[in-house]
């Protein structure tokens, strides 16, 4: 049984939809479950939104996402202490994948630097799903959204996609083909969480 589970993938990979369905299904089965997400709605999360919308300096963006997570991690730890299942739509790997691309031309090995920034101060998920989809397809899925943000460009998402594939190594990660049906994807996650 897994208690802390994160959902990751490029924009348009469907992870938010699947995390909502998984949440509903676990609740129906009687489990105490929390669905949370990043960036959060806290005051720091609002600064994160500003960073995204204004195309802020990549270092400021990376640090702001990380501070938002530090604050969020305290809530996550409390929920885990209460023995709840915590589902989180985006977490640390989003920063490594997205800001890893933004910082690529600025520092050597940005992902290593971003990982060190957390100073082991955030809970490590029991499982991280990486919803894998070709960026060209994910862009088609999101092209009708009203407010596309600067990250939602194929060329940028191609690099984020590469970073996710690099990150998805080790027991924590499960790569999932995001082109499967919603029912299939929810089923994969539920079976995995309860095993
Ligand atoms: P959302 O669409 O899942 O709400 O996320 C908003 C955008 O923020 C999305 O393009 C991914 C990006 N993002 C980062 O760049 N770094 C992060 O650490 C997180 C959590 C999100």
Which of 40, 47, 90 has the most ligand 1 atoms within 8 A of CB, as the residue to mutate?
Answer: 90
User: Taking the C-alpha atoms of 175, 180, 182 and 185 in order, what is their torsion angle to the nearest 10 degrees?
Assistant: -30
In tens, the pLDDT along 46-60 reads 999 999 999 999 999
Least Cα distance to 119 among 169, 77, 66, 74 occurs for: 66
In tens, the pLDDT along 145-177 reads 878 888 889 999 999 999 999 999 999 999 999
Give the ligand 1 atom nearest the CA of 95. Answer: 18
Q: 68 is written with which tokens? A: 């938002």
Report which protein residue has its CA nearest ligand 1's atom 6. 39
| CA dist 15 → 44, 47, 82 (Å) | 23, 23, 25
Least Cα distance to 175 among 137, 132, 124 occurs for: 132
Q: 169 is written with which tokens? A: 């190594």
| Cβ–ligand 1 contact at 93 (below 6 Å) | no
More confident residue, 19 or 144: 19
Give the ligand 1 atom nearest the CA of 151. Answer: 10
Domain extents in the chain = 4-194
| Cβ–ligand 1 contact at 52 (below 6 Å) | yes
Give 4-194's CATH code, choosing from 3.40.50.720, 3.40.50.10240, 2.40.30.10, 3.40.50.300: 3.40.50.300
In tens, the pLDDT along 121-147 reads 999 999 999 999 999 999 999 998 878
In tens, the pLDDT along 176-187 reads 999 999 999 999
Alpha-carbon span 111 to 19, nearest angstrom: 25
């Amino acid at each position: 049984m897994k208690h802390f589970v994160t959902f990751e993938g490029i924009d348009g990979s469907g992870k938010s939809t699947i995390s909502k369905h998984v949440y509903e299904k676990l609740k129906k089965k009687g489990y105490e479950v929390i669905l949370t997400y990043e960036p959060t709605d806290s005051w720091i999360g609002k600064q994160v939104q500003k960073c995204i919308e204004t195309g802020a300096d990549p270092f400021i963006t990376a640090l702001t996402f990380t501070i938002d997570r530090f604050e969020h991690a305290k809530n996550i730890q409390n929920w885990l202490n209460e023995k709840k299942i915590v589902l989180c739509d985006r977490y640390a790997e989003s920063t490594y994948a997205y800001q890893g691309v933004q910082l690529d031309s600025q520092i050597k090995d940005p992902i290593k630097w971003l990982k060190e920034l957390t100073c082991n101060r955030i809970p490590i998920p029991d499982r991280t799903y990486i919803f894998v989809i070709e960026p060209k397809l994910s862009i088609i899925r999101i092209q009708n959204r009203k407010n596309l943000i600067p990250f939602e460009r194929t060329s940028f998402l191609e690099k984020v996609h590469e970073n996710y594939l690099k990150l998805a190594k080790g027991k924590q990660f499960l790569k999932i083909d995001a082109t499967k049906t919603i029912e299939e994807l929810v089923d994969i996650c539920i079976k995995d969480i309860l095993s």
